[in-house]
Amino acid sequence: MTTQAQTPASPASPAGLEGVTAGNSSLSRVDGTAGHLYYCGYPIEPLAEAGTFEECVYLLWNGELPNAAQLAEMKAQLTADEKVPTEIWDLLRPLAARNMSLMDLLRTGVSALAAFDDEVATTREDVDGRMEIERRVANRVMAKMGPLVTGAYRLQKGQEPLATKAELSMAGNFLYTLTGEVPGEYEERIFDAALTLHADHGFNASTFAARVTSATESDIYCAITAAIGCLAGRLHGGANMRVMRMLEEIGEVENAEAFVDAILAKPKGRVMGFGHRVYKVEDPRATVLRRMADELTKSSGNAKWFQMSRKVEDRVKERKGLAPNVDFYSASVYGSLGLDPEIFTPIFAVSRASGWLAHVLEQHADNRLIRPRANYIGSPERAHVPLAQR
């Protein structure tokens, strides 16, 4: 009989795999000590402030920034794949009427889209040209993410989804298909930069979920569905919506400090939008988003969300020494653009889909099953007792 003493012990991993390097990637580099983030070697700040989200998608999928012709070709491919089949709306309509959350509608919608992709089944086998087929599938998924979110949102409000406009960017189309109004250049620009800032971030939880799923040689729809489920959690993408809910609850700038104190007085109380597993200094995305929130506030004349956010930030820093993460100022940026907090996490999903898809393609280009071991801490071996004797 094997006893526990004879079982070889596996070394325990740090809780939450903190500090563990789980594989190679050439997509993004997170420097948590200095507070920098790079996509394929480029710092995120100029990519967000001088580039477009489409350029960022091209970069993540190809490893290089596009020239004008390459960018135009990519835009044309995305535009060609944007239409969501009416059957998907018919599927989601009754679910939306049951108050299913937008992230759950998105998860269901992406999963169901597989039924309308004639090529996806072949990618589960080792067929010739599989990577090329997967790139086409990735394009279809990326193109439909925004329209799926805005269409599902409209269904929730009892409205019908809107078709995209070929002349608009992905950011412009998101805002247009959400509201029915073509956004101003400034709003589109800010929203586009926010999409770029959220696109990729090393082996974050949802990206890792996508990679683990695709490493079983499962298909892209399965990987993105898993990633969406993972992003929805309040410790990951679900935080930005909760930041806005918190700001709404605080209500007035002068209530901010007492509100933070009340959260921190609770055992394990967490202020949403603060702290990070990797960054030991300020998240560089928060720095850009703070600047954008400040700018937006000044142009809109409504300083409330930004001023309240600054107060919360100062208090959390003073009390816990924690800096804001990407979710904190993205909330006041989206809030200042007049967006509903329910759509904040789905916006994160639309942007991060570009990174998820890049990671799936990277995983499949040099795949090995991801299968770690568990450090068993349960009972030692014991004799089975039949039900009648228990």
Give the residues lining the site for ligand COA (CB under 6 A).
16, 235, 239, 270-277, 320, 322, 325-327
Nearer to ligand COA, 66 or 284 (CB): 284
Nearer to ligand COA, 130 or 234 (CB): 234
CB of 322 to ligand COA, least distance (A): 6
Nearer to ligand COA, 17 or 91 (CB): 17
Nearer to ligand COA, 221 or 348 (CB): 348
Catalytic residue among 192, 219, 327, 359: 327
CB of 234 to ligand COA, least distance (A): 6
CB of 63 to ligand COA, least distance (A): 25
Report the residue number whose CB is nearest to ligand COA.
Answer: 275
Nearer to ligand COA, 72 or 235 (CB): 235
Catalytic residue among 198, 201, 236, 276: 276
If you search the block for the tokens 């940026």, which residue do you land on? 333
CB of 197 to ligand COA, least distance (A): 12
CB of 250 to ligand COA, least distance (A): 15
User: Residue 283 catalytic?
Assistant: no
- Which residues are marked as active site? 276, 327
